Structure 1
Amino acid sequence: MAFDYDLFVIGGGSGGVRAARVAAATGAKVGLAEEFRMGGTCVIRGCVPKKLMVFASGFSEMFADAGAYGWDLTPGPFDWGKFRPKLHAELDRLEGIYRKLLGNSDVTIFDARAALKDPHTVTLSTGEEITAKHILVATGGRPVVPDLPGAEHAITSNEVFLLDDMPKSILIVGGGYIASEFAGIMNGLGVKTTQYYRSEQILRGFDNEARGIVADGMREKGVDLQVNTNVVSMEKRDDGILVKDTHGRDLLFDQVMFATGRRPNTDDMGLETAGVLLGRGGEVVVDEYSQTGVPSIYAIGDVTNRVQLTPVAIREGMAFVETVFKGNPTPVDHALIPSAIFTQPEMGTVGLSEEAASAQEPVEVYATTFKPMNHAFAGREDRVLMKLIISKQSRKVLGCHIVADHAGEMIQMAGIAIKMGATKEDFDRTVAVHPTMAEELVTMKEPVRTT
């Protein structure tokens, strides 16, 4: 059978775009459909605008610290009306780059919603039907809004970049990295920020000691972080949104933002009709090669709910092309992925938490907390954590956890060594760079505890 395309990609996010471009470079005829804007969650409503807002929010603390360093500055309030147009202009620029990259790669772009008709046929919202030898689903995910009275009055991380005005007060509901990052952002921009999380500690799944220091640091910086607390109902008032919480309190906020999880974008796509198996959370079930149970259909990125990180989606897209178009079966490696949480304070992590490692085998824990030089000089109470989890048997570094300014930059470098199988003794043999925070990673001589 002759197909219109060798590969048809559904979704123009980072993973889908990379897969389309690299497949086209092999000589394959490639089409790609995107119903919204090219660039996906990361570029349009995720990593990129969020990180720019993290940068913006950090200046309030820098201005405050400047006086301690001899600078005479008189900071004014944050001007959202000045920042927002520049933010959206940057997103427009990046979307243009994505489109240009696809065009230069001879990928045909369809600005339309796509759904599956059968294992080799895609139907577009324009009415077109397209056949393809291989179909790659890369539709990402979306925020989930809890089912409670008045939930429609809240925003999510999708809408936060589109606000007409910066609120004077905000309630952020959730305890994951998105909720915690935006709590720091809003607080740094001068918004009175409250965060509710239903469980005992934010950042579930990360190292307990590290997330405790992040939570303490957030409170120290002014976030009203309340754990074991959730929203029961919300009511729109002329002067804001009235929130009833699980403690029976009625509190008024200018804005409420839900960051209570994400769901794969698989609704109304014809996936199950085409024979694709979906998991309980709506995710596309795939094997180690990103192949579904239907041989012609693959899926990568957040829609598979494996590891929800942009660089992972890109890696999965590259592995897909190696497997399908280069004849080199390449499973996706999801082990020892470094990641950063752009909370304030920032956190970087790679490998196992202390809790996960100690449940697996006997370990030694090397850790130190201290006031960093720059903040101590300015009279701040901020604390840094440097932590290594070591296998007692192999001496390999099983996990590294950093809470500090620029933790993301540090963990990228530490991740290389740990991915290579570095031992504690390899770290010890490395000469310290002084004076830095990261030198503590190579100067900790005695474990603080063994498990």
Structure 2
Amino acid sequence: MSNFDYDLFVIGGGSGGVRAARVAASEYGVKVGLAEEDRYGGTCVIRGCVPKKLMVFASGYGEMTQDARDYGWDVQDGAFDWHVFSGKMRAELDRLEGVYRRLLDGSGVEKFDARATLKDAHTVTLSTGEEKTAKHILIATGGRPVRLDLPNADLGIVSDDIFHLDDLPRTMLIVGGGYIACEFACILHGLGVEVTLFYRGGQILNGFDDEARGLVAEQMRARGIKMHSGTNILEMEDRDGGTWVKGTTGPEKIYDKVFFATGRKPNSDNMGLEALGIAMGRNGAIEVNEYSQTGVPSVYAIGDVTDRVNLTPVAIREGMAFVKTVFGGEPTPVDHDLIPSAVFTQPEMGTVGMTEEEARAQEEIEVYSTTFKPMQSAFAGRDDRVMMKLVVSKENRTVLGCHIVAPQAGEMIQMAGIAVKMGATKEQFDQTCAVHPTMSEELVTMRSPVRS
């Protein structure tokens, strides 16, 4: 008989923690406890992917009435009602949280609606005052958005707050040039907000393919988003019912809201980790090995708290690898190679594998790329452009990277990601018959490299 209360105790009720807990309990028959101090579902379901994607959908309808008229439909413009939408969105999040709770209950996981910290290598202390012991402890506490370190930064909001606005602002300054900043710039502009973007670098979406992010920036400007590169906030203060901001490059304005999209920090503070000798990396990330194990053998960590690849499907896969390793007798290292991802700007960007710049630094390559006006928007008289791009190894013809900027690029890159993960060559792409007429057929019809 075990001397512990649980075989596994999970700290964090987000996607990764819940998946690990319920699979361990239902498929491997282990006794599992889980503590969550906030809402079940974590960042993705409650404060991130899901509500954001609903806002992406909502923001896309603004252009549809004009497009419909260009296609012959007699439709009139209407107004967007934030209160109607946000009420339905919050109800949907409540429903999804209930699903997460029921999944845990159905798997036999014992839940604790409390904050948990580590007392020692096998003991957690709950904010209720209880202590629970476990043979293994899994930390899956995620991360949180951070503001810039400057006076009056508390006047600004962060991504967690955007879903709880009582009213949509008329004007908003978004600070940051990463995917969260760019996604919400497009979302809010699509909902009728006058959006300005400050970003420190020379271009948005640092780390993504240069050609792809350049086209996204071009399309954002064309839609009317005001973008200021090489710019940060110098001063901000409460003034005339809004927030007055002075930028480092000189612009001054009063905005209804200022939104900081300036990075995220792992939720590892004040958990007792340092006292146990668990190593912490840059920005408070928990350091783990390829099996998600910390320096304390009984303690593991997955998801954003490790700051490896901060994506929900990755956290879920890390959780599954942990369960197989610890309870399935199958040592399973986490696979972080060739992970497809999407940026839900307008248009979207989908990417998998190496950027052109990364590949060129590694070996000789050929680049196949095309930009064009897609049929649907071109017929409606819009100047939108899309891009399809393949980065190919000269030596073995393997497709090293695929980058798409287009409506529904996220849907396309999921399929392209299968081929890239399998190691498909350019010639195998070419051997695949095109689906015509589609945007994505360009991925299999580009015959000549644009540069080499």
Q: Which residue of 2 aligns with 1:437?
A: 439
Trace 1:16-415 onto structure 2 (pairs within 5 A): 16-25=17-26, 26-415=28-417
SS in structure 2 of the partner of residue 273 of structure 1:
helix
Q: CA RMSD, aligned part only?
A: 0.7
SS in structure 2 of the partner of residue 195 of structure 1:
strand
Note the residue ranges of structure 1 that are not aligned, 5 or more in a row.
none
How many Å separate the matches in 2 of 1:387 and 1:226? 27
Q: Deviations over 1:152-188 (max 9, x none)?
A: 1000000000000000010010001000000000000
Q: Quick check: 1:196–1:227 contact (8 Å CA) kept in 2?
A: yes
How many Å separate the matches in 1 of 2:245 and 2:85? 29
| Letter of the structure 1 residue corresponding to residue 314 of structure 2 | V
How many Å separate the matches in 1 of 2:377 and 2:78? 22
Farther off after superposition, 94-103 or 231-240: 231-240
Farther off after superposition, 274-283 or 364-373: 274-283
Farther off after superposition, 64-73 or 169-178: 64-73
Farther off after superposition, 321-330 or 221-230: 221-230
Q: Which residue of 2 aligns with 1:7?
A: 8
SS in structure 1 of the partner of residue 174 of structure 2:
strand
How many Å separate the matches in 1 of 2:107 and 2:399? 41
How many Å separate the matches in 1 of 2:38 and 2:179? 25
Residue 44 of structure 1: CA displacement? 0.1
Residue 400 of structure 1: CA displacement? 0.1
SS in structure 2 of the partner of residue 116 of structure 1:
strand
Residue 250 of structure 1: CA displacement? 1.7
Q: Quick check: 1:397–1:418 contact (8 Å CA) kept in 2?
A: yes
TM-score by length of 1: 0.99
How many Å separate the matches in 1 of 2:224 and 2:69? 20
Residue 280 of structure 1: CA displacement? 2.2
How many Å separate the matches in 1 of 2:274 and 2:358? 35
| Letter of the structure 2 residue corresponding to residue 267 of structure 1 | D
Q: Quick check: 1:37–1:44 contact (8 Å CA) kept in 2?
A: yes
Residue 64 of structure 1: CA displacement? 2.1
| Letter of the structure 1 residue corresponding to residue 116 of structure 2 | A
Runs of 4 or more, structure 1, over 3 Å off, are: none
Q: Quick check: 1:151–1:233 contact (8 Å CA) kept in 2?
A: no
